[in-house]
Amino acid sequence: MSNEIGTLIADSRTKMDLTQDQFGRKYGVSGPAIFKFEKNYVKPSLDLWLRMAKDVNLSEQAAVLTWVKAKLPKRYQAFINPHAATVHEEEGKYGKKKEVSSPAKIVDAKEIRKRILADASAPHGLKQMLKDEDLWALYKPTSQEIHVLRDVFGQLGAGSKSAYREALRLIREFSTD
């Protein structure tokens, strides 16, 4: 499994010329905890990682994506690039490169909903969630949330309506911190 977080923590600590105990005190954790993070035995909590990521000079978005990537099974980790502004697929249908639009292109939630529902290549679970009038009225997803559902979670597969609903809850949990 990738140890990107552990490597970033170790590199940051080394650049600061701190021991694991000294580095840990800076964040209110023990030296042995820092050792476990660096060796990939455990991952820091998201809150702790976000505080550490500031010292590593990672944007909050890149830090969250790095943390989420580390929690995924190894076979799915390659789907997330924490440093990419847009999501690219190596080869689209018929050998053409396919680029997924960035969240800034469509800002009206109703418009992106309409386009995704008309898009045959959109993930099935996302389309089912967006078709459900009750869920739409209850959750009122923003265009940015819909783009993240499509661009990030859609790369993981077709999914189910309930999986995309849970993904929306996850997105909101990260954005409210």
In this structure, the number of other CB atoms found within 10 A of the CB of residue 53 comes to: 23
| CB 13, CB 34: distance < 8 Å | yes
Q: What is the pLDDT of residue 69?
A: 84
Q: What is the pLDDT of residue 116?
A: 85
Q: Which residue shows structure tokens 């080394």?
A: 14
Per the CATH hierarchy, to which homologous superfamily does domain 4-72 belong? lambda repressor-like DNA-binding domains (1.10.260.40)
In this structure, the number of other CB atoms found within 10 A of the CB of residue 145 comes to: 19
Q: What is the pLDDT of residue 84?
A: 57
Q: What is the pLDDT of residue 83?
A: 61
Cα–Cα distance, 159 to 12 (Å, whole number): 37
Which part of the chain has CATH 1.10.260.40?
4-72
Q: What is the pLDDT of residue 103?
A: 38
Q: Alpha-carbon Rg of the chain, whole angstroms?
A: 19
**Could you tell me the end-to-end alpha-carbon distance of the chain, in angstroms, rounded to an integer?**
27
> What is the residue-level pLDDT of the chain in tens, covering all 177 positions?
468 889 999 988 998 899 999 999 999 999 999 999 999 899 999 999 999 988 777 888 888 888 888 888 888 877 777 765 444 444 444 444 444 444 345 678 888 888 888 888 888 888 888 999 988 888 888 888 888 888 888 777 778 888 888 888 888 888 765
